[in-house]
Chains A and B, each alone.
Chain A
């Protein structure tokens, strides 16, 4: 069973969103997603100051076997990047909700958060997948 964290919000593309306050959110991929991908060996995430758009690709994540896109769950400007992932992408496998975070985004459309799922909704969503 994959883990979910009650205080986070979730997208259909298996990203989690943590509201940090001041219109900022932290983004990563869920435990379910890392488990589906398997051993992660490469990530390419946006750089600071890049704009991201909800529902659109903001990067790439690669396991030994496959290449997948990372979809941004929100729109806004990237203000912080977890650059440690470049050399240690496997952190996402081990700590998807902590050390494996990807970016902090300053929201341009805070209302988009309402579109995201709660932990409970996400759990039933993954059970259907």
Chain B
């Protein structure tokens, strides 16, 4: 296949392309799926402020 005879070599060639297509399909289907709606705002705020401090140290 594609000039490659060994199935152990053309299989990953095809699988690489297929898995990239899987990523594309999966991304499109779940494009708007959001799981963060139930997160308490104070928890997010606290985390974000601490993250800013970590970044500031750098």
A and B interact physically:
no
Chain A residues within CB distance 8 Å of chain B: none
Chain B residues within CB distance 8 Å of chain A: none
